Amino acid sequence: MGMTMTQKILAAHAGLEKVVAGQLIEANLDLVLGNDVTTPVAVKEFKKIGVDKVFDKKKVAIVPDHFTPNKDIKAAEQCKYIREFARDKEIENYFEVGEMGIEHALIPEKGLVVPGDVVIGADSHTCTYGALGAFSTGIGSTDMAAGMATGKAWFKVPSAIKFVLKGKMNKWVSGKDVILHIIGMIGVDGALYKSMEFVGEGISNLSMDDRFTIANMAIEAGAKNGIFPVDEKTIAYVKEHSTKEYKVYEADEDAEYDAVYEIDLSKIRPTVAFPHLPENTRTIDEVGDIKIDQVVIGSCTNGRMEDLRVAASILRGKKVAKGVRVIVFPGTQNIYLQALKEGLVADMVEAGAVFSTPTCGPCLGGHMGILAKGERAIATTNRNFVGRMGHPESEVYLASPAVAAASALTGKITNPENIA
């Protein structure tokens, strides 16, 4: 029996000719990632190991993005702690305020991940980089510490589920709708510790931004990772952003999958995940009358250029509904700058939205967008658990930038087809 794409990457990094699902391996790492929440714990554990340097100054990345710009003294102290560690260990990829972004938007933009890489990150949405044909997965702070010290990590080789994508998405449907549709179909534990491998001719109709969004939310189905094959769009992206060497891996024709699903992209409707799980999905036609208090456009899921362009195209020349707060978080400084140059920031601010520096703040209920008791938000983020954005009795509805922007104009969850 052959190997899946993920299994081939892991086998190569473990120095093995073949691996099988369930096998325990030790693999070499191409990148170890942490943020301002997880890295302080990792640094404390790293110091216990007794080594005086990281395994490779170029292969560790630290991005303070969750509570930065610092929201309080504790956040400031955490950032100072990891800043001093990065300086002391001469870590090259430490990104401070002014150059940092939301980590899973910034790392691909900086070219730090390429096809064929193995990446661990002390953040669950590290699976984003599977869009580039890399194996990337979230780990805990202790594993981050060990990875920084040794350049290696233990893995149990995952089995896989194959998603065969065909057709082309309709207008106002995006990668966010695709992954919400899939999670609604298989559930939040439908891919538990499995690799979600996306294949099929429909992939050619997905932009890189669509793929980043889909891979980002693989963890919301319980997956170990999500991964896309490398095609012309992938290679063009890598050549634009990176000078690293890359290697393309393809699944064997006789690779074994636990399940195979066919997804017709042309039949997917704009999709909304109701509280309090990403699997609680309904199409826009089934939503009903849901009034909202806040709209969040951005995050590591939907804070890229295509997301801002779609939102601005709906908001342009119109006004946000009275009483609705609209907060926009571009993924990186470069995305913010490009949005400024294209006039998207002006379009959205004139409509009544506010712009923030790149931060994870509102997504995790940290700062800059906390919900009060009884409030509802529609957000382009990736989680809507109880209390995710603030008060335990608030509600978060997950949707695409198009649905979020349309909803901002009416004050209730709205089909963008009815606005634009």
* Mean pLDDT of each 10-residue bin along the chain, 420 residues long: 95 96 97 94 93 95 91 92 95 91 95 97 95 96 96 97 97 96 95 96 96 96 97 96 94 95 97 95 95 96 96 97 96 96 97 93 86 96 89 95 97 90
Six token digits for residue 25: 């391996």
Q: How distant is the alpha carbon of residue 344 from its chain centre?
A: 22
Peptide bond into 276 cis (omega under 30): yes
Q: Where does residue 141 fall: left (phi above 0), alpha (psi -120 to 50 degrees), or beta otherwise?
A: alpha
- Tokens 């012309």 belong to 232
Q: How many CA atoms lie within 13 A of 310 on its CB side?
A: 27
399 within 8 A of 379, measured Cβ to Cβ: yes
CB 69 within 8 A of CB 97: yes
What's the alpha-carbon Rg for the chain, to the nearest Å?
Answer: 20
Name the E strands within 255-386. 259-264, 271-273, 281-283, 294-298, 325-329, 354-355, 376-379
Q: Strand 271-273 to strand 281-283: parallel, antiparallel, or no bridges (unpaired)?
A: antiparallel
Supply the pLDDT for residue 386. 85
> Looking at residue 367, what is its pLDDT?
87
Q: Which CATH architecture has domain 5-263?
A: 2-Layer Sandwich (3.30)
Give the Cα separation of 380 and 400 in Å (integer).
5
Domain edges within the chain:
5-263, 272-418
The backbone torsions φ and ψ at residue 195, rounded to the nearest 5 degrees and listed phi first, read -90, 125
Is residue 283 within 8 Å of residue 368, measured between CB atoms? no
Quote the CATH superfamily of domain 272-418: Aconitase, domain 3 (3.30.499.10)
Q: In this structure, what token pair is assigned to residue 210?
A: 């669509």
How high is the pLDDT of residue 420?
A: 60
Dihedral of CA 166/171/175/176: which sign?
negative
**pLDDT computed for residue 334 by the predictor:** 95
Same fold, 5-263 and 272-418: yes
